[in-house]
Amino acid sequence: MSSAEQNRSPWRIFRYLIPYKVSLVIIVISMILFSALHVISLSAVVPVVDKVLVISHEPIRIFDISHVEKPSGRIDTVKLGINRFFLDKNPRDMLVVIALFLLVVIVLKGIVGFIKNYLIARLGQKVVQDIRNEVYSHLQHLSVHYFTKAKTGELIARFTNDIALVRTGVTKGVCEVVFEPVQILFYSIILFFCEPRLALFSLCLIPVLMIPIIQIGKRLKQISASWQKRLGGLSSILHETITGIRIVKAFAMEPYEIQKFRKENRKLYKTYMSFEKRKNLLPPLMDIVGAIGVVGILVYGGQMVLEESLTKGQFLLFVVALISMLNPFKKLGKVNGVVQMMLAASERIYDVLDTHPEIVSKPHAKKVKDFHDKLEFCHVDFMYDPNGCILTDINFTVKKSEVVAFVGASGGGKTTILNLIPRFYDVSKGAIILDGIDIRDLELSSLRNMIGMVTQDTILFNDTVEGNIAYGKKEWNNDELFRAAKQAHAHEFIKNLPDGYQTVIGERGVKLSGGQKQRLAIARALMKNPPILILDEATSSLDTESEKLVQDAIDTLMKGRTVIAVAHRLSTIIHAHKIFVLDQGRIVGEGTHQVLIDSNPIYRKMCELQFQI
């Protein structure tokens, strides 16, 4: 396999096991000990049947090696040693010895089994913890463009369902893939120890048992990948309807959404049942093949017992071991389904991890600490995809401490310009120059640290008021916090909240009004104290009273800063130093409010509609 193929292989998920090599070694050792103790306890059937539960005055010998004049080889030596240990013991004493021996073995097996199961569970959780941390960290570094394409529900499904399948694959799959073959090995040793000819005949069944496991396993992986994709789709529907529940109810679309969910849920059900049908087909197939083998062994082995070439205890142990051997094969069949689901899940996880950020800092990018002179857009074009240009030949300059605004019809490219400044996207052509340096040559984090944003769609976190205002600040004190809140006209309403600044505001600030959320966002920007401020229709969705409070807060926020704003309400930007009129991705007007009224028909019409002049 080439290195490129290895990098794409779903089996690379096992690299997360590498840091836990010591735990893996202990788990394997505990599996071997557990299997050995199980086999030892099972082997006690031979002396009990052949030597103890018979009426005889002969000294008990576990193994009949009377035909051997002198021990040769390790097996004969071991048999002779066991015989000497039990020599001259009567059946009653022997029964007590075997009973006590079994008790010790079973206790030891229980202890080893506990250690084995605990370490396997711990390993699974450690691996899941590492995967979640890496995937979440990777998502945080991906570019904004990735999240405009990805479905939130599907990303959440990868964090929950897919990673949970990896945990199941590690704990029940990978470990069983090691444990069950160890069991089969020990059972095979018993079979050869009892009767080599019968053992060879029995082991011929192994290839027959493995064929359905391999063939069905291939199909299971394909179905599992389809099932996980459908589950992601179902999660997306659930996320959309929960976040948009007001719209659903406002349009009385509950029956439609219910029907859509049921249709997708039905597809998920059919896909999963297709998986279960194939997975559960393996055990009965193995039972049938195993039953044919056991019948043959009973006939052939029974003849050997009648001919006294095989003892009853040995034959009984052989049959018990052979039947017990079928169980690991059945488990391997089930485990194969689990492993295939894990591999399909790992491919979906690596779909995220293999996505590289589009916007990154160059290796030797320059750090910028302050804004000194001007920000320039030089012949900037931008397109989200090759199908159409959003911005065409954009040229403008913003000097330090200037307030500039962009106006125009929806879809004209206003917000896109704002998104290009902090490099949420990179220009398709041209350059954005900050103090004489292309922003693509600046360290990304230092560029963004100089920029504060207040948007129409206020984003707050399910945290305390304090945590939301101080978001992004590593060091701060209460005086700074209170000053920012007061300047944003938020201090008064915060004090009236149940726990003041320690009040948890709910997901996206659901416990607050629109104006309160916006004032918290302004307080957050004030706390950051950036030299460049971006305002994206910050008051467009507020009522008149809230707008006045928010506008006062914005006026405070704008003092001494370079401001680039997009405004729907022209009243908020009439005092800007420059106003740029955008139409279909081009700047078609530039000047002050009065200059544009006199010279630009698009701007004049907008003013007539809003001010009725």
Q: Do the Cβ atoms of 390 and 382 come closer than 8 Å? A: yes
pLDDT band at 229 (very low <50, low <70, confident <90, very high): confident
pLDDT, mean of residues 165-188: 81
pLDDT band at 9 (very low <50, low <70, confident <90, very high): low
- Does 249 score more than 80 pLDDT? no
Parallel, antiparallel, or unpaired: how do β-strands 578-583 and 586-591 relate? antiparallel
- Does 2 score more than 60 pLDDT? no
Residues 338 and 433 grouped into a single domain: no
- Does 47 score more than 70 pLDDT? no
Is the whole-model pTM more than 0.85?
no
> Mapping DSSP to helix (H, G, I), strand (E, B) and coil, where does residue 78 land?
helix
pLDDT of residue 85: 56
- 160 falls within a domain: yes
Strand partners, 532: 451, 562
Q: Do the Cβ atoms of 312 and 305 come closer than 8 Å? A: yes
Token pair recorded at residue 465? 């008021």
pLDDT, mean of residues 359-369: 88
- 235 falls within a domain: yes
Which residue did the predictor score with more confidence, 14 or 468?
Answer: 468
- 550 falls within a domain: no
Please write the tens of the pLDDT for every residue from 315-353. 777 888 877 887 787 777 777 777 777 888 888 888 888
- Does 613 score more than 60 pLDDT? no
- Does 437 score more than 90 pLDDT? yes
- 358 falls within a domain: no
The range of the structural domain enclosing residue 433 comes to: 371-450+533-543+562-613
- Of the listed ranges 40-54, 80-94, 128-142, 580-594, the one predicted with least confidence: 80-94
> Mapping DSSP to helix (H, G, I), strand (E, B) and coil, where does residue 506 land?
coil
Residues 45 and 61 grouped into a single domain: yes
pLDDT, mean of residues 470-493: 86
- Does 583 score more than 80 pLDDT? yes
Residues 500 and 423 grouped into a single domain: no
Residues 208 and 341 grouped into a single domain: yes
Q: CATH number of the domain that 463 lies in? A: 3.40.50.300
pLDDT band at 71 (very low <50, low <70, confident <90, very high): low
pLDDT of residue 293: 72
- Does 603 score more than 80 pLDDT? yes
- Does 500 score more than 80 pLDDT? yes
- Of the listed ranges 7-11, 203-207, 335-339, 522-526, the one predicted with least confidence: 7-11
pLDDT, mean of residues 494-505: 88
Q: Which of 301, 326, 353 is the last residue of a domain?
A: 353
Which residue did the predictor score with more confidence, 355 or 3?
Answer: 355
Q: How far is CA 493 from CA 220, 511, 591, in A?
A: 57, 12, 39
- 41 falls within a domain: yes
> Quick one: how far is CA 184 from the chain centroid?
34
Residues 522 and 392 grouped into a single domain: no
pLDDT band at 381 (very low <50, low <70, confident <90, very high): very high
Q: Which of 529, 553, 587 is the last residue of a domain?
A: 529
- Does 57 score more than 60 pLDDT? no
Residues 498 and 578 grouped into a single domain: no
pLDDT of residue 273: 85
Residues 442 and 463 grouped into a single domain: no
Q: CATH number of the domain that 181 lies in? A: 1.20.1560.10
- 232 falls within a domain: yes
- Does 64 score more than 60 pLDDT? no
Please write the tens of the pLDDT for every residue from 279-311. 777 777 777 776 777 777 777 777 887 777 777
- Of the listed ranges 22-31, 250-259, 275-284, 471-480, the one predicted with least confidence: 275-284
- Rounded (10°) CA dihedral 219, 225, 231, 236: -150
pLDDT band at 382 (very low <50, low <70, confident <90, very high): very high
Residues 377 and 318 grouped into a single domain: no
- 363 falls within a domain: no
Q: Do the Cβ atoms of 176 and 342 come closer than 8 Å? A: no
- Does 395 score more than 90 pLDDT? yes
pLDDT, mean of residues 541-551: 65
pLDDT band at 396 (very low <50, low <70, confident <90, very high): very high
**% residues pLDDT > 70 (the chain):** 86
pLDDT band at 510 (very low <50, low <70, confident <90, very high): confident
pLDDT of residue 79: 58
pLDDT of residue 612: 61
Residues 475 and 445 grouped into a single domain: no
Please write the tens of the pLDDT for every residue from 137-176. 888 888 888 887 877 777 887 877 888 888 888 777 777 7
Q: Under the phi-then-psi rule, with left for phi > 0, alpha for psi from -120 to 50, and beta for the rest, what region is 438?
A: beta
- Of the listed ranges 234-248, 425-439, 553-567, the one predicted with least confidence: 234-248
Q: Do the Cβ atoms of 330 and 336 come closer than 8 Å? A: no
pLDDT, mean of residues 392-420: 90
CB atoms within 10 A of CB 245: 12
> Quick one: how far is CA 113 from the chain centroid?
30
Residues 33 and 108 grouped into a single domain: yes
pLDDT of residue 432: 94
Residues 434 and 390 grouped into a single domain: yes
- Does 5 score more than 50 pLDDT? no
Q: Do the Cβ atoms of 531 and 490 come closer than 8 Å? A: no
Token pair recorded at residue 348? 């979906």
User: What's the total number of domains in the chain?
Assistant: 3
Work out the burial of residue 96: count CB atoms within 10 Å of its CB; fewer than 13 is exposed, 13-18 middle, 19 or more buried.
exposed
- 364 falls within a domain: no
Residues 512 and 576 grouped into a single domain: no
Please write the tens of the pLDDT for every residue from 203-225. 777 777 677 767 776 677 678 77
